[in-house]
Amino acid sequence: MAKPKTFFIRNARAVDAVNHLKPIELSIQGQTIAHVGPPGSLHPTPDADILDAQNQLVLPGFIDCHVHLRDSGASDSIQRAKEDFSTGTKAAIAGGVTTVLDMPNTNPPTATPEAFQTKLVHARRTAYCDFGLFAGATNDNANTVHQLVHDGAVAVKMYMGASTGSLLVDAPGKEEPFFKSAADHGFVLALHAESQDCLKRHEALFNETKKPRHSQVRPPQCAEHAVEAAMQFIRKYENQTYICHASTAQEVELVRHAKTQGLPVFMEACTHHLFLTADEELYHENRVKMNPPLRSKHDVDALWKALNDGTIDTVATDHAPHTLQEKNQNYWEAPAGVPGLETLMPLMLSAALQGKTTLETVQKTCCENPAKIFGLNQKGQLKPGLDADLVFVDLDTEKPVDESTLFTRCGWSPYTGKRLRGWPTQVLLRGQTVYANGFLHGPLGRSVK
Ligand code: DOR
Ligand code: ZN
Ligand code: ZN
């Protein structure tokens, strides 16, 4: 077989330790990175393909380990009005995200071998970026869910409190077997950690209120109780546990303490919890309704501190598209969730440029750590032998988030108008250009497992 063609990238800059950028050159052979080194380390032949990166930053493609692309692979027009694998993964690529991990709360939920296969086959046909699929925990599948991991699920997601969709593990004693199974079968158990009992009690207090504050209907203690309950099981089984969307200072404290004891617990923060506070509810109402809700400035500050000291392992979006029409219903009818795939990279890079965090931390939490936690061995770093998923980023141009250019089918953003730097200009997926200056090429996405 002919050797795959090599092409060369010159005049790029990569994140060095902390916040420095160092000039680099790369070469790509076929789908993988062949070489990364200082300027002058490559020796292309005169007729070689060379891409001049014009001093832009090059990053490993971001891995968003928490997205809801809504698409089960079965036809469901309500869900498809919001997003599908095609539009959601186009949004990912345009945002510099080359791998997404899709959540199981679709219709039907990804909780049986049949549902899993249907989604996998459909995603393989239509995805623009690489993807992994979560399997869903139910009150009935603790003994069988590991088979979905065997079939290729990246991890199992358990809803300890109800959110969008029907997935929920709330029957007495039903949670523990998932922690045991995760330990026995070696899979990562991802948690939507809000306690259902606590949510029900608080929701009942607002029954008569037409327009309650979502942050009060689902208060911090519901998230904290769930993380506390989970910790008991993690101590007992020492299974790898991934706590989705940390939103409160107290959850962070619990995880910081567990990590000092060497427990295998990982924590995710989502962009809306890092960049917005509950005050937004006063102006944007249901648009910023999501589960868990936005929190106080005190909580937001604790998240940034935890991000910078390594307590938070990953930054994800919880990209959860719903239409504005649905959001414009009354509080009780409006669904929870905000889109985020196209704003993750510029939000995080702008934060690094402003000194709220470092470029190194952004690269760790958006590329390296997600790959390590979910076992994506070909992803997450600029290293020879790994997939050539590369994003070129213009760090200089500042521009506002513009809804008219979004690829997500829901067509809106909670950050509209916000001026950001760090927009991707070109994206390579396994060596092929899939995005350049507003244009997409694909679908070329593959399953990571
Ligand atoms: O806000 C949310 N939206 N939180 C979730 O847990 C689910 C998600 C969705 O699927 O809409
Ligand atoms: Zn969740
Ligand atoms: Zn989610």
Rounded CA separation 11/121 (Å): 40
Q: What is the number of alpha carbons within 13 Å of residue 300 lying toward its C-beta?
A: 15
Tokens 């994206």 sit at which residue? 427
Structural contact between residues 232 and 180, judged by C-beta atoms closer than 8 angstroms? no
* Residue nearest (by alpha carbon) to ligand 1 atom 10: 164
Tell me which ligand sits closest to the C-alpha of residue 101: 3
Q: What is the mean pLDDT of residues 385-410?
A: 97
Tokens of 138: 């139910």
Å from CA of 382 to ligand 1 middle: 32
The reply to whether the predicted model has a pTM over 0.85 is yes
Of 367-371, 423-427, 436-440, which range is least confident? Answer: 436-440
Structural contact between residues 116 and 135, judged by C-beta atoms closer than 8 angstroms? yes
Q: What is the mean pLDDT of residues 126-140?
A: 98
Q: Mean pLDDT for the chain?
A: 96
Q: Could you read off the pLDDT of 171-203 as tens digits, one per residue? A: 889 999 999 999 999 999 999 999 999 999 999
Tell me which of 71, 103, 318 to substitute to probe ligand 1's pocket, judged by most ligand atoms within 8 Å of the beta carbon: 318
Q: What is the mean pLDDT of residues 120-147?
A: 98
- Asked if the model's pLDDT at residue 228 lies above 70, the reply is yes
User: What per-residue confidence (pLDDT) applies to 390?
Assistant: 98
Tell me which ligand sits closest to the C-alpha of residue 193: 2
Å from CA of 32 to ligand 3 middle: 31
- Asked if the model's pLDDT at residue 214 lies above 90, the reply is yes
Rounded CA separation 96/12 (Å): 16
- Asked if the model's pLDDT at residue 18 lies above 90, the reply is no
User: What per-residue confidence (pLDDT) applies to 396?
Assistant: 94
Coil, strand, or helix at residue 22? strand
247: Cβ below 6 Å to ligand 1? Answer: no
User: What per-residue confidence (pLDDT) applies to 1?
Assistant: 58
User: What per-residue confidence (pLDDT) applies to 30?
Assistant: 95
Tokens of 88: 């959601």
**6-15 vs 21-29, strand pairing mode:** antiparallel
User: What per-residue confidence (pLDDT) applies to 174?
Assistant: 95
Q: Could you read off the pLDDT of 72-84 as tens digits, one per residue? A: 998 777 777 899 9
Rounded CA separation 15/240 (Å): 29
The reply to whether 394 belongs to the active site is no
357: Cβ below 6 Å to ligand 1? Answer: no
Angle formed by the axes of helices 196-205 and 220-237, to 10°?
Answer: 170
Amino acid type, 235: R
Rounded CA separation 447/100 (Å): 10
Rounded CA separation 87/77 (Å): 14
Q: What is the mean pLDDT of residues 112-141?
A: 98
